Structure 1
């Protein structure tokens, strides 16, 4: 991913936070010499100081057969939105799109053990059901559950490299950044983008006084 210096993300905790908050990812690899993608949720875990992404896909999906020992890429998309030149005070600017994107690279390890695959399913259910009242749990008929587990392919990705890009107007003048934040704050649909922009720009603005 092309990442200019001023858009590089150097806050690892924020990168992890965005992955967790935007865990519906795009998993990309090569199949038959062409790019192949699957859209799916991936859970981030820390194990012995390393990052592991956990997920599953349908066994009928041919994607998993192409994993092999090649590197795959998981793409996580954070808040994003259109930025009009009207949001700035400086002249001679053009429209753009601000966004946060994270690419995780690593190799896939297929989880063949049925008990471990079920544990991954249960872990994902627990995460996404959350603390809501009447939350659903994996209390299924054993025969049905066995068929369910057999119909999916669970896997783990050992993350070897992370690229994170926060394109949030860091390269604009302080007055333009303040004007941008005011415009985003006034847009109810841009609340997440405004919050992330403010968080990322704060250290730069503090250094600039």
Structure 2
């Protein structure tokens, strides 16, 4: 987490929305004294009440072993990000930097029971398939029972209730408005900077 407090984001609603917008997280843990990490799509609980984050890994994943052994977990969600050239500021004596948005959730996890694991698989597919409309939503019912049961046997699902849930929005808040405007215009002209420019505009509005 970036140490500069001006970049920190603590509003739970904002953080939850960023998890929804960028749900593919890196989840890290410690196994036998060594760091391990893996990617997973994460589904946050609905608004209201304590936040929980659900995800799953294969039985063979080293992170699964670590979490089952009691390791705390750190989930990192990365939003829009891009290189920022000092030439874009229009002021002297500047250096390159990287603007980005990210969210961190840390705490202990609980293994979900079989019924909750199956529900998570359905919830994940429903959530992501809904974004593919008008295509009909894929359902596990389309699979043969034997194939589906084999899939379930290879998965372990978890729930993380964060003890720490905070984010970073490093968007040149430490620069004059004119310099930020120059960065926004330059990012808009790059292939991967448009989303980041939009986030900077929202902060300035």
- Asked if 1 retains the 8 angstrom alpha-carbon contact of 2:53 and 2:159, the reply is yes
How far apart are the structure 1 equivalents of 2:192 and 2:47? Answer: 36
Give the TM-score of the pair, scaled to structure 1.
0.89
1:143 CA displacement? 2.0
- Determine if contact 2:53/2:161 at 8 Å carries over to the other structure: yes
Q: CA RMSD in A?
A: 1.6
- Answer yes or no: is 1:173 the counterpart of 2:176: yes
1:188 Cα deviation from its structure 2 partner: 4.1
Contact 2:44–2:52 (Cα < 8 Å) also in 1: yes
Q: SS of the counterpart of 1:77? A: strand
Which structure has the highest strand share of the two? 1
| Partner of residue 144 from structure 2, selected from 141, 149, 154 | 141
Q: Mind listing any 5+ residue stretches in structure 1 that lack a counterpart?
A: 203-209
Could you tell me which residue of structure 2 aligns to residue 162 of structure 1?
Answer: 165
C-alpha distance 169-27 of structure 1, shift in aligned 2 (>3 A): same
Give the stretch that moved more between structures: 28-37 or 1-10: 1-10
In 2, Cα distance between equivalents of 1:49 and 1:87: 43
Give the superposition deviation at 1:185. 2.2
Q: 5+ residue gaps in structure 2? A: none
1:9 Cα deviation after fit: 1.5
Q: Please give the per-residue CA displacement for 1:32-91, whole angstroms capped at 9, x wherever unaligned.
A: 101110111111114761111111111121321221333210000010001001211111
Q: Normalized against structure 2, the TM-score is what?
A: 0.91
**Cα distance in structure 2, aligned partners of 1:47 and 1:87:** 39
**Residue 65, structure 1, aligned to residue 65, structure 2:** yes
Contact 2:90–2:179 at 8 Å: present in 1 too? yes
Structure 2 Cα separation of the partners of residues 177 and 80 of structure 1: 15
